[in-house]
Structure 1
Amino acid sequence: MKSLRWPALAALLFFMLPGLAMAAEVDGRALSVLWGVPFAGVLLSIAILPLLAPTVWHHHFGKITAAWALAFLVPFALVFGVPAAAGSLVHALLAEYIPFVILLTALFTVAGGIYIRGNLHGSPGLNTAILAIGAVLASFMGTTGASMLLIRPLIRANDNRRHVAHVVVFFIFIVSNAGGSLTPLGDPPLFLGFLKGVDFFWTVRHIFPETLFLVGALLAIFFVLDSWYYHRREELLPRDPTPDTPTLGFDGKANFLLLGAVVGLVLLSGFWKSPVAWNIAGTEVGLPGLVRDAGLILITIISLRTTPAQVHADNQFGWGPMQEVAKLFAGIFLTIIPVIAMLKAGVDGPFGAIVAAVTRPDGSPDPAMYFWAAGALSSFLDNAPTYLVFFNTAGGDPSVLMTTLAPTLAAISAGAVFMGANTYIGNAPNMMVKAIAEDRGVRMPSFFGYMLWSGGILVPLFIAMTFIWFR
């Protein structure tokens, strides 16, 4: 009987689909802020339970996350009907979560098949150089791709040191977020802008000074802090866990080609305009997206099949971090549905005060408020739809936003990308990097502990940027 349960559920969903054709959109104007409680519950669980009940969280975080998702879906189905709930679920899965997990899995697998042979010694100079290289790579292979490629060798380079958490924290600041601000390849919000008509090189022309300031300041602060740790007594362990080897090199080099193929597929899905699409429960699934996802799955399989087992062993490759991120973000993507809907409702929704705050009394947009509003919400919500909401709030015309309202578009872009570093859930690679670091034995800050780092280091830099560029 148990073996028939999932096929029966799948068949039931299949026959329900025609009746769900218009159910994917949720009218945020009809929602109360109480619908955001399950989302807040997921965030608080991630923040508090690892501190109060670490054993329970470690063994049951998937179940806890699923419980919060059901705490949204079941009442939503009772109040608005099964078609509305099922349509929202299908939209979250097909349009957002499944493509997200497929891309993340491909990058995790391909980057995990590249091993930097030899023993790098994590001195302040070397660590700063790796962070700087990662910042450059992030805009061309994405913050997730650059993070997955460099986090393992960076941790291994510092495995002879007692204090490593700050290295990973600054890695998240720089490589997983700030570095991806120059091209649409860097971060999903900019890719959405590109799809809406923003020129490919617009961001590099208009927020390069802001990026240079932020990345440069963070690298300088990191070098000073890392030097202080490095030159303390007892900082270096008596024995380096990674033995020295005569030469440095790469194993699993074929994965570099696969990494390029991942970037190519993501670009293809943006450039390729096809009228072929399927409507599934109100969610349009286009041919370019299907080709991209199928290609990413194929690349993942090829990488697993062709990467020598020794490379995976040397990299300590395992599925634990990927499983953790997939489970947690499943709950986040589901419980965030009403929050995003309320935000999309604009001034008529429960978050109308936030949307209205970005406009000056004379009706002109306020770049400073756009920077902070887009950034603050991107710190806790998905930064891609947040970018899109404020893009449309500012008029939604790319030709106007790229010229007359260029400061406003720059503020939205910078806020959505830069402030994703404020929390572990602000950007997808943040949580992934944290999971990989903890899997390697690094004692990372808690959710609120990390926010103390970002509040003390990033927020003052954001305030300075506001006065310099977004007044």
Structure 2
Amino acid sequence: MKTTRRALGAATLALAIASVPSLAVAADLDGANLSVLWAVPFAGILLSIALMPLLAPFFWHHHYGKVAAGWALAFLLPFAAAYGPGAAGGVLVHAAVAEYIPFVILLTALFTVAGGIFIRGNLHGSPGLNTSILAIGAVLASLMGTTGASMLLIRPLIRANDNRKHTAHVVVFFIFIVSNAGGSLTPLGDPPLFLGFLKGVDFFWTVSHIFPETLFLVGALLAIFYALDSWYYHRREELLPRDPTPDTPRLGFDGAINFVLLLVIVGLVLMSGLWKSDVVWHVAGAEVGLPGLVRDIGLIAVAAVSLAITPKQVHADNQFGWGPMQEVAKLFAGIFLTIVPVIAMLKAGVNGPFGAVVSAVTRADGTPDPAMYFWATGALSSFLDNAPTYLVFFNTAGGDPAVLMTTHAATLAAISAGAVFMGANSYIGNAPNLMVKAIAEDRGVKMPSFFGYMLWSCGILVPLFLAMTFIFFR
């Protein structure tokens, strides 16, 4: 509990500091004049996330925060030498205030509240039940986030199937649907969309523009899963002789009060998008509006209330701990800082160091190509985490939410779909993927290796993405 209080206290202090006007002024970076070498720290931290858990798992597990800090300093110190300490401090404060602090506060609130709900009872994992849980999870993912929905449902789904020999495919499809595709309809669903919301994309814009794509992908995945799970289920050797989880008199929820807190989270995020206020603080070039400030303070309060009112036994039953959230917070601190020069260079367009990337997603007449944006965003989201990748291509497409939501709506839809859907292509594409894998392995499920998982994604997801390209993004 002391650790929890310190974490909440640190978040509150960080928010308070971010709300005080700063003397540092962020440098107005001209991306066209930056060397591509400024992107090395960003590439370094993302490659570290991708490779070090495979090549040096023990070191990574104990020192990932130091690795992230090292890459952040690899950008910040040379930047301070080149542009001055004031500019470096301005960039640091701007990255924290504009994106990182609201991002981490929302994830923490969802993670905390979802961790306070325990689904009691023993279900029996038939193909119909499993498919129903995945469908429910897809809906919940856009309401409580892919992280929240994944943490809520993965444990009861594993318990429901603990009398079956072959269960890895159930978890793989859970990652496809609940941890990724289902979170595509609201800013609450997946971190990339929340970052877009912070940039000015309307709360309901995504659901009104990529609902058909989501329905196609989730529907196809549920149909494929039902057929595959039925094949496994009806094999003679499938069921174990005894169910390890005893039946209980009734199903139910412990910590159900947290469902009310989930509604409060939804209300706070909606409020921050709909409430317009002229009260604005300028912090290192970033605007801190009153609605956003009220939202973030409210989310911190919701997390604190959840921790205070949730019985300890519920957290014990859920095996709730801060490890996954600490990892996300530390790694994204480095990512949000090192991405600053990359965004500046992409904003420079064809005249910048990444002109080839911009040209690849631009048609000959100068207009953006939605199909190329879908695949470029998706390909990088598969390995470099979909939240910063969304930011990169959001800015590549101009970075003006008013234009992207209207004139270039097809492009923004392609970026949103690519970031959310293709985050499922590998374990490192989206934060919940690794969380779900770790929980499943802890419960005795023999999950595929990194490349074994990609055999599943390449065989199932990639053909569906190709079909979507011709149907939706021509």
TM-score range, shorter chain: 0.7 to 0.9
Q: Which amino acid aligns with 1:280?
A: V
CA distance in structure 1 between the aligned counterparts of 2:198 and 2:80, rounded to whole angstroms: 33
Q: Establish whether residue 323 from structure 1 lines up as the match of residue 326 from structure 2.
A: yes
What does residue 302 of structure 1 align with?
305
What is the correspondence of 1:419-430 to structure 2 with a 5 Å cutoff?
Answer: 419-430=422-433
CA distance in structure 1 between the aligned counterparts of 2:92 and 2:199, rounded to whole angstroms: 25
What does residue 122 of structure 1 align with?
125
CA distance in structure 1 between the aligned counterparts of 2:293 and 2:459, rounded to whole angstroms: 42
Q: 1:189 to 1:108 in 2, by over 3 A?
A: closer
Q: 1:314 to 1:457 in 2, by over 3 A?
A: same
Q: Is the 8 A contact 2:138 2:183 kept in 1?
A: yes
What does residue 93 of structure 1 align with?
96
Deviation at 1:332, TM superposition (A): 2.5
Deviation at 1:265, TM superposition (A): 0.8
Q: Establish whether residue 251 from structure 1 lines up as the match of residue 251 from structure 2.
A: no
2:266 to 263, 267, 280: 263
TM-score (normalizing by structure 2): 0.85
Q: Establish whether residue 149 from structure 1 lines up as the match of residue 155 from structure 2.
A: no
CA distance in structure 2 between the aligned counterparts of 1:172 and 1:255, rounded to whole angstroms: 24
Q: 1:40 to 1:271 in 2, by over 3 A?
A: same
Deviation at 1:301, TM superposition (A): 1.1
What does residue 293 of structure 2 align with?
290
Deviation at 1:316, TM superposition (A): 1.6
What does residue 106 of structure 1 align with?
109
CA distance in structure 2 between the aligned counterparts of 1:323 and 1:347, rounded to whole angstroms: 38
CA distance in structure 2 between the aligned counterparts of 1:41 and 1:198, rounded to whole angstroms: 30
Q: 1:238 to 1:83 in 2, by over 3 A?
A: farther
CA distance in structure 2 between the aligned counterparts of 1:448 and 1:331, rounded to whole angstroms: 26
Q: Which amino acid aligns with 1:120?
A: L
CA distance in structure 1 between the aligned counterparts of 2:56 and 2:262, rounded to whole angstroms: 39
Q: Is the 8 A contact 1:321 1:436 kept in 2?
A: no
Measured against aligned partners, the alpha-carbon deviations of 1:86-121 in whole angstroms (never above 9, x if no partner) come to: 222222222222222221111111111111110122
State the Cα RMSD in Å.
3.2
Deviation at 1:205, TM superposition (A): 4.4
CA distance in structure 2 between the aligned counterparts of 1:383 and 1:38, rounded to whole angstroms: 15
2:341 to 335, 338, 342: 338
What does residue 22 of structure 1 align with?
26
5+ residue gaps, structure 1: 1-5
What does residue 457 of structure 2 align with?
454
What does residue 61 of structure 1 align with?
64
CA distance in structure 2 between the aligned counterparts of 1:333 and 1:449, rounded to whole angstroms: 30
CA distance in structure 2 between the aligned counterparts of 1:224 and 1:192, rounded to whole angstroms: 36
CA distance in structure 2 between the aligned counterparts of 1:181 and 1:360, rounded to whole angstroms: 26
The worse-fitting range, judged by mean Cα deviation, of 196-205 and 349-358 is 196-205
Q: 1:70 to 1:228 in 2, by over 3 A?
A: farther
What does residue 469 of structure 2 align with?
466
What does residue 361 of structure 1 align with?
364
Q: 1:460 to 1:277 in 2, by over 3 A?
A: same
CA distance in structure 1 between the aligned counterparts of 2:285 and 2:203, rounded to whole angstroms: 30
Measured against aligned partners, the alpha-carbon deviations of 1:112-149 in whole angstroms (never above 9, x if no partner) come to: 11111101223332222111111122233333332332
What is the correspondence of 1:40-439 to structure 2 with a 5 Å cutoff?
Answer: 40-190=43-193, 201-231=204-234, 235-236=238-239, 239-379=242-382, 380=384, 381=386, 382-386=388-392, 388-392=394-398, 396-397=402-403, 400-401=406-407, 406-438=409-441
Q: 1:320 to 1:140 in 2, by over 3 A?
A: closer
Deviation at 1:391, TM superposition (A): 4.8
CA distance in structure 2 between the aligned counterparts of 1:93 and 1:393, rounded to whole angstroms: 19
Measured against aligned partners, the alpha-carbon deviations of 1:362-383 in whole angstroms (never above 9, x if no partner) come to: 3444332232233334442524
Q: Is the 8 A contact 1:325 1:431 kept in 2?
A: no
CA distance in structure 1 between the aligned counterparts of 2:53 and 2:94, rounded to whole angstroms: 31
Q: Which amino acid aligns with 2:26?
A: M
The worse-fitting range, judged by mean Cα deviation, of 100-109 and 53-62 is 53-62
For the residue of structure 2 that corresponds to 1:116, the secondary structure is: strand
Deviation at 1:185, TM superposition (A): 4.2
Q: 1:202 to 1:88 in 2, by over 3 A?
A: closer
Deviation at 1:184, TM superposition (A): 4.5
For the residue of structure 2 that corresponds to 1:397, the secondary structure is: helix
- Aligned length in residues: 456
Q: Is the 8 A contact 1:378 1:386 kept in 2?
A: no
What does residue 3 of structure 1 align with?
none
Q: Is the 8 A contact 1:188 1:384 kept in 2?
A: no
CA distance in structure 2 between the aligned counterparts of 1:396 and 1:19, rounded to whole angstroms: 30
5+ residue gaps, structure 2: 1-9
Deviation at 1:396, TM superposition (A): 4.9
The worse-fitting range, judged by mean Cα deviation, of 194-203 and 297-306 is 194-203
Q: Is the 8 A contact 1:321 1:439 kept in 2?
A: no
Q: 1:95 to 1:200 in 2, by over 3 A?
A: closer
Q: Is the 8 A contact 2:342 2:392 kept in 1?
A: no
Q: Which amino acid aligns with 2:70?
A: A
TM-score (normalizing by structure 1): 0.85
Q: Which amino acid aligns with 2:80?
A: A
Deviation at 1:229, TM superposition (A): 4.2
CA distance in structure 2 between the aligned counterparts of 1:206 and 1:247, rounded to whole angstroms: 41
CA distance in structure 1 between the aligned counterparts of 2:368 and 2:281, rounded to whole angstroms: 38
Measured against aligned partners, the alpha-carbon deviations of 1:386-443 in whole angstroms (never above 9, x if no partner) come to: 4532553799525743xxx554443333223322323444444334434544555555
Q: 1:59 to 1:441 in 2, by over 3 A?
A: farther
Q: Is the 8 A contact 1:322 1:432 kept in 2?
A: no
Q: 1:141 to 1:49 in 2, by over 3 A?
A: closer
For the residue of structure 1 that corresponds to 2:250, the secondary structure is: coil
Measured against aligned partners, the alpha-carbon deviations of 1:272-305 in whole angstroms (never above 9, x if no partner) come to: 2222222223332222222111111111111111
CA distance in structure 2 between the aligned counterparts of 1:391 and 1:306, rounded to whole angstroms: 45
Q: 1:351 to 1:452 in 2, by over 3 A?
A: farther
Q: 1:105 to 1:365 in 2, by over 3 A?
A: closer
